[in-house]
Amino acid sequence: RKQVGKVTTSCKSFDELLGGGMETQAIVELYGEFGCGKTQVAHQLAVNIQLPVEMGGLNGSVIIIDTENTFRPERIDQMVKGLPPAPDGRIWETEDFLKNINVARAFNSNHQILLAESAMDLAEKVKDSERPVRLLIVDSVTAHFRAEYVGRGTLADRQQKLNKHLHDLMRFGDLNNALILVTNQVMSKPDTFFGDPTKPVGGHVLGHTSTFRLYLRKSKGEKRIARLVDSPNLPDGEAVFSVTTDGLKD
C-alpha cells in the first residue's frame, strides 16, 4: 500500500476537519441540497490536486465524469486567478491547469459505468509520467441512477449497479493512489418511499463504500458548513468555509 496523500481544500478549518485535507485511496462523498457547493468544492479540488506538495497539492492530473453538464472552464480560470502565489514566483496560467483536467460527459448510468472503466485505461497510460491521475471526480454519482430507476421494484437492481460502480471507483483510488470525490444530492420530498428527506440518495450502499461523508449546507451569504459524518478514524465535527469568486476560502 502506497503512502496516503492529502490534498488541501484551500480552507484551514475544512482541512482540519478532514485531518489535514482530502485523502487519496479514499472515496469522499459530498452530499447536500442543490446549490450547497458540491460542484464548487469539486472544481477547487481539480485545481488544488495539481499544485506542488508544499502548497497542499499532489502534482497530479484529474479525470471528471460529469453527469449533469456542470463543469465550467471559466470557473477553473477564476479559481486559478484566486490561488496564492507560487513559492518559486512563477505565474499560474489557467491553460496549464485546464490541460490536466480530463472531462467526460456521462449521458446515462451505463455510460457512467463505462467511463469509470476507461478512466482506468487513461490513468494507466500516464501512471509513470510527471502528472499521474491523482483525482477522479464523479459529479453527480447518483443522479442518473436515481432518474432511471424509479419505483420500488427497481431499487435492488439500482443498488446492485451502483454498488459495482462504487467498487470500480474504489479500485481506481487504490491502484492510482488517487482521491475519489463523488457528489450526491439529498432526497427530495417526492422520494418519500426512501424515507427521511434529509438523507443522501443511495442509502446504505453508498454509505458503506464512502470513506468520508461530508454533508454540506448553506449558511449566511457565501458561507457554507461542512459536517463530517461517520468517519472511521476522525471525530465527527463541522467546518465553516466560504465559496467566493476566487474559489473556496476560510
Q: How far apart are CA 156 and CA 8, in angstroms?
A: 37
The alpha-carbon radius of gyration of the chain (Å, integer) is: 17
Q: SS3 for 100?
A: coil
Contact 162, 202 (CB under 8 A): yes
Cell of 156: 435492488
Going 166 to 167 to 168 to 170, the CA torsion angle's sign is positive
Nearest Cα neighbor of 222 from 197, 208, 200, 241 is: 241
Q: Which is nearer to ligand ATP, 110 or 245 (CB)?
A: 245
- x/- string (CB under 6 A) for ligand ATP, residues 78-117? x---------------------------------------
Stretch that binds ligand ATP, among 28-36, 56-64, 125-133, 172-180 (CB under 6 A): 28-36
185 is a contact residue toward Mg ion (CB under 5 A):
no
Map the footprint of ligand ATP across residues 174-193, applying CB under 6 A.
185
243 is a contact residue toward ligand ATP (CB under 6 A):
yes
94 binds, among ligand ATP, Mg ion, none (CB under 5 to 8 A by kind): none
Q: Which is nearer to ligand ATP, 185 or 210 (CB)?
A: 185
Rounded to the nearest whole angstrom, what is the least distance from the CB of residue 126 to ligand ATP in the complex? 27
Per-residue CA distances from 197 to 61, 191, 211 (Å):
36, 7, 22
Binding site for Mg ion (CB under 5 A): 38-39, 70
Positions touching ligand ATP (CB under 6 A) are 32, 34-40, 70, 75, 78, 185, 243-245
